[in-house]
A and B are shown apart, each in its own frame.
Chain A
Amino acid sequence: MNSRVYILDVGLTRVGDHWKSSIQELAYESAKGLLHRNSRSIPFDGLVVANALSEISSSQQNLGPLIADALQLDNVEAIEVEAAGASGAAAVHVASKMLSSEHWKKCLVIGVEKMRDLEPSKITLAQALSEQAEYTHFFGMSLASLNALLARLYMSEYGTTRDQLSSFPVIAHKNSSTCEHAQFRKKFSRDDVSRSEIVSDPLRVLDCAPVGDGSAAIILASGEEMDAQQRRNSVEIVTSESASGRVNFFERDDMLEFMSTKKAADRAFLKTGLSIDDIDIFEIHDAYSVGAALICEALGLSKRGEACKDAVSGKFDLNGQFPISTFGGMKGRGYPVGAAGVYQFCEAFMQLKEKAGFNQVPNARRALIQTMSGIDSSCFIHILSTQHKG
Chain B
Amino acid sequence: MSIPFWRNRDRYYRMLGSKCQKCGKEFFPSVLVCRSCHSTDVKDFEMPQSGKLLSYTLQKESISGFEDQEPMVFGLVELDNGVRVVAQIVDTPYEALKMGTKVRTVFRKVRTDGESGQIYYGYKFAPVRVTSH
Contact = CB atoms under 8 A, between A and B. Distances in A.
Interface string B75-118: 11000000011111000001000010000000000110000000
Given A132-B29, A140-B111, A141-B86, A122 B64 contact: yes
B72 interface: yes
B63 interface: yes
B45 to A, nearest CB: 16
Contacts of A139: 74, 86-88, 110, 122, 124
B56 A140 contact: no
Contacts of B35: 251
A144 B71 CA distance: 13
Nearest to B69: A140
15 contacts: A119-B64, A121-B67, A125-B63, A135-B86, A139-B122, A140-B59, A140-B88, A140-B110, A141-B72, A142-B63, A149-B76, A153-B54, A199-B61, A251-B35, A255-B84
Interface of A: 119-122, 124-125, 128, 132, 134-142, 144-146, 148-150, 152-153, 156, 197-203, 248, 250-251, 255
A142 B59 contact: yes
A201 B86 CA distance: 15
Interface string B18-29: 000000000001
A230 B79 CA distance: 60
A250 B110 contact: no
Interface residues of B, number: 38
Contacts of A128: 63
Given A139-B87, A140-B69, A148 B63 contact: no
B61 A200 contact: yes
Contacts of B69: 140
A251 B87 CA distance: 13
B57 A145 contact: yes
B39 interface: no
Contacts of A132: 29
A198 B73 CA distance: 13
Contacts of A136: 86
A202 B86 CA distance: 16
Contacts of A140: 59, 62-63, 65-66, 69, 72, 88, 110-111
A151 to B, nearest CB: 8
Contact of A124 (B61, B86, B87, B88): B61
Most chain B C-beta atoms within 10 Å of own C-beta, residue among A124, A136, A139: A139
Nearest to A136: B86
Contacts of B87: 139
Given A134-B4, A135-B29, A124 B58 contact: no
B86 A200 contact: no
Q: Which of B60, B122, B124 has the most CB of A within 10 A?
A: B60
B2 interface: no
Given A128-B63, A203-B57, A250-B84, 6 more contacts: A124-B61, A141-B86, A145-B59, A152-B57, A153-B55, A200-B74
B40 interface: no
Contact of A201 (B58, B85, B111, B124): B58
Contacts of A135: 29, 85-86
